[in-house]
């Protein structure tokens, strides 16, 4: 073997070299990370109505409230469990964690030398007809980079931050899936109520039309009254057709979230439940700063910011010398039979230093790109905080106003039912005319539909607030069913 540095190197000199390598390997050019200030107010806006009726200062914190405790309906909990096992989007998010973990493993391995066993032999004829033989075997370390300026360490830190960002993205996908399944189930419950109202109304319209036709036949009503009754009946048919279509679309959306068809038990439960039974707990909003630890999407954005910060360290290190080491230890001989005999052993040590002199601005451009990437990551982190602040503010404002709207809608329905009863009595006794009767019927039908939609909007706002506050993120991460996913 060719010995660039042989055994004759004094032991003290070898020790000094190894000590210098150890000390210099601790250097890092990565900027010190500082979390940007949150670009949001310290309190929720007045329109959010944090102290709305129903809020409890002693309520359980949303960070400690698991989704199983918030969504107490057994059917809904079963649907959420099914979605967490079979939803493909969540499965992709979890597999992205595995991908990032593997990439982190590669970067961590770069910090260590790669030890290989190598053996080679050659037979080269000479000009005088002889053959030169050379055989060698042993252990080798090839082009191991001694990380004097922290380039490899910075790349490892970048990969670690990206791995943690992937884990946060999976948490965010899980929370979003839970909320979307709950909202889709609420949509189906509302569809069933709307269909029940429409079927009941259509049956009532058919009966009313038959009575008007009978009165017209006996000369007790005019064609104008007949056309009015027909209009009411056809309007009810139009609304029913629209609701049937929406019911089918909402079920298809839920099936896609579940990753499998809706089971018969859940279908049967749709006929037995209604939106009024789906009560959800009131959630305390806390302070806006709590979102920094509650929301996984904010934590994901911060990890990506840390990754871009580490990338600057790697770009800076490219301006400095890169030192690599090739070494080997083994046996060499001109005869294969004497390869492992005494006296044939030796070792090599071949360090290499590469200092960039001229690269046409490549390293500077890489550093500029890394710095620009960090500024982009800062803006994205701040935007994630602002977006979270708005989502919670919207959900809080919706909760307060929709609760008042729901109460008003229920009162309005009672009024319209009483008015419809009185109008029918007045019509039967000849006091009211056909126009008043038609107006009362249309108003009652509209209020019935509006009440269901308002109740749905209120439940959706409760679920949206649970999602916006990062509810359920503190619980264990549920994994999509896949044999390739490691625990």
User: What's the mean pLDDT in 14-22?
Assistant: 48
What crossing angle do the helices spanning 151-217 and 296-317 adopt, rounded to 10°? 150
More reliable by pLDDT, 236 or 438 = 236
**Confidence (pLDDT) at 27:** 67
**Confidence (pLDDT) at 55:** 45
What is the SS3 assignment for 140?
strand
User: Residue 84's pLDDT band (boundaries 50, 70, 90)?
Assistant: very high
**Confidence (pLDDT) at 63:** 55
CATH of the domain at 174: 1.20.1600.10
What is the SS3 assignment for 157?
helix
- Domain of 10 in residue numbering reads as 1-17+114-146+325-354
In a domain, 216, yes or no: no
Burial class (CB within 10 angstroms; exposed 0-12, middle 13-18, buried 19+) of 456: buried
Mean pLDDT score of the chain: 82
Q: Round to whole Å and give the CA distance between 193 and 187.
A: 10
**Residues 142 and 152 both lie in one domain:** no
**With 70 as the cut, is the pLDDT of residue 485 above it?**
no
On whether the CB atoms of residues 378 and 305 are closer than 8 A, the answer is yes
Phi, psi of 42 (to 5 degrees): -80, -15
Q: Round to whole Å and give the CA distance between 307 and 154.
A: 9
On whether the CB atoms of residues 467 and 179 are closer than 8 A, the answer is yes
What is the SS3 assignment for 221?
coil
**With 80 as the cut, is the pLDDT of residue 235 above it?**
yes
**Confidence (pLDDT) at 472:** 65
User: What's the mean pLDDT in 451-480?
Assistant: 76
**Residues 138 and 158 both lie in one domain:** no
In a domain, 338, yes or no: yes
**Residues 85 and 122 both lie in one domain:** no
**Residues 348 and 257 both lie in one domain:** no
**Confidence (pLDDT) at 209:** 84
**Residues 338 and 249 both lie in one domain:** no
In a domain, 126, yes or no: yes
**Residues 5 and 81 both lie in one domain:** no
**Residues 90 and 133 both lie in one domain:** no
Q: What is the pLDDT of residues 420-463, one digit of tens each?
A: 889 888 877 878 777 787 778 888 888 888 999 999 999 999 89
Most confident of 54-68, 253-267, 431-445: 253-267
**Residues 414 and 308 both lie in one domain:** yes
**Confidence (pLDDT) at 255:** 94
The total number of structural domains in the chain stands at 2
In a domain, 464, yes or no: yes
pTM: 0.82
**Confidence (pLDDT) at 8:** 40
Alpha helices in 71-150 (DSSP H): 74-86, 88-109
**Residues 258 and 379 both lie in one domain:** yes
In a domain, 215, yes or no: no
**Residues 285 and 297 both lie in one domain:** yes
User: What's the mean pLDDT in 270-281?
Assistant: 77
Please list the residues that pair with 117 across neighbouring strands.
139
Non-local CB neighbours of 80 within 8 Å, separated by 6+ positions:
67, 71, 177, 178, 181, 182
**Residues 93 and 10 both lie in one domain:** no
Q: Round to whole Å and give the CA distance between 189 and 279.
A: 13
On whether the CB atoms of residues 289 and 38 are closer than 8 A, the answer is yes
**Residues 155 and 255 both lie in one domain:** yes
Q: Round to whole Å and give the CA distance between 449 and 240.
A: 11
Q: Between the CA of residue 380 and those of 173, 255, 308, 376, what are the distances in Å?
A: 18, 33, 12, 6
Q: What is the pLDDT of residues 72-83, one digit of tens each?
A: 888 999 999 999
On whether the CB atoms of residues 270 and 187 are closer than 8 A, the answer is no
What is the SS3 assignment for 197?
helix
User: What's the mean pLDDT in 126-136?
Assistant: 76
In a domain, 400, yes or no: yes
Phi, psi of 330 (to 5 degrees): 175, -150
Phi, psi of 409 (to 5 degrees): -65, -40
User: What's the mean pLDDT in 244-268?
Assistant: 92
Burial class (CB within 10 angstroms; exposed 0-12, middle 13-18, buried 19+) of 95: middle
In a domain, 211, yes or no: no
User: Residue 24's pLDDT band (boundaries 50, 70, 90)?
Assistant: very low
**With 80 as the cut, is the pLDDT of residue 89 above it?**
yes
Phi, psi of 110 (to 5 degrees): -65, -20
Q: Round to whole Å and give the CA distance between 442 and 236.
A: 10
Strands (E) in 270-354, as ranges, are: 322-333, 345-354
On whether the CB atoms of residues 101 and 163 are closer than 8 A, the answer is yes
Q: Round to whole Å and give the CA distance between 448 and 194.
A: 8
């Amino acid at each position: 073997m060719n010995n660039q540095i042989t055994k004759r190197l004094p032991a003290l000199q070898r020790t000094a070299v190894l000590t210098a390598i150890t000390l210099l390997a601790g250097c890092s050019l990565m900027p010190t990370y500082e979390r940007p200030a949150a670009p949001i107010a310290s309190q929720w806006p007045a329109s959010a109505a944090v102290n709305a009726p129903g809020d409890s200062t002693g309520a359980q914190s949303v960070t400690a409230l698991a989704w199983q405790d918030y969504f107490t309906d057994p059917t809904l909990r079963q649907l959420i469990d099914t979605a967490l096992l079979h939803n493909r989007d969540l499965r992709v998010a979890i597999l992205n964690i595995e991908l990032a973990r593997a990439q982190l493993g590669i970067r961590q391995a770069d910090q260590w030398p790669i030890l290989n066993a190598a053996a080679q032999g050659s037979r080269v004829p000479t000009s005088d007809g002889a053959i030169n033989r050379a055989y060698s075997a042993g252990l080798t370390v090839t082009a191991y980079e001694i990380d004097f300026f922290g380039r490899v360490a910075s790349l490892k830190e970048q990969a670690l931050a990206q791995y943690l960002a992937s884990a946060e993205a999976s948490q965010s996908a899980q929370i979003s899936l839970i909320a979307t399944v709950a909202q889709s189930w609420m949509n189906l419950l509302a569809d069933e109520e709307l269909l029940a109202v429409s079927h009941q109304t259509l049956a009532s319209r058919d009966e009313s039309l038959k009575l008007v036709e009978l009165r017209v036949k006996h000369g007790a009503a005019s064609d104008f009254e007949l056309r009015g009754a027909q209009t009411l009946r056809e309007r009810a048919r139009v609304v029913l057709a629209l609701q049937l279509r929406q019911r089918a679309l909402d079920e298809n959306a839920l099936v896609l979230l579940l990753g499998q068809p809706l089971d018969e038990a859940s279908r049967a439960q749709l006929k037995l439940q209604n939106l009024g039974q789906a009560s959800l707990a009131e959630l305390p909003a806390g302070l806006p700063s709590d979102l920094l630890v509650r929301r996984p999407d904010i934590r994901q954005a911060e990890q990506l910011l840390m990754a871009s910060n580490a990338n600057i360290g790697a770009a800076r290190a490219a301006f400095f010398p890169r030192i690599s080491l090739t070494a080997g230890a083994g046996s060499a001989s001109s005869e294969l039979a004497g390869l492992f005999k005494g006296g044939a052993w030796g070792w090599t040590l071949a360090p290499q230093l590469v200092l960039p002199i001229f690269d046409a601005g490549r390293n500077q451009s890489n550093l500029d790109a890394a710095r620009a990437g960090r500024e982009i990551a800062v803006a994205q982190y701040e935007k994630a905080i602002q977006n979270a602040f708005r989502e919670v503010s919207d959900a809080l404002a919706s909760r307060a106003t929709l609760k008042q709207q729901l109460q008003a809608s229920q009162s309005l329905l009672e009024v319209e039912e009483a008015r419809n009863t009185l109008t029918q009595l007045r019509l039967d006794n000849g006091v009211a005319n056909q126009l008043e009767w038609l107006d009362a019927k249309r108003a009652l039908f509209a209020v019935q539909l509006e009440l269901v939609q308002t109740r749905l909007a209120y439940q959706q706002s409760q679920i949206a607030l649970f999602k916006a506050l990062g509810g359920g993120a503190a619980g264990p991460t549920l994994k999509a069913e896949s044999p390739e996913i490691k625990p």
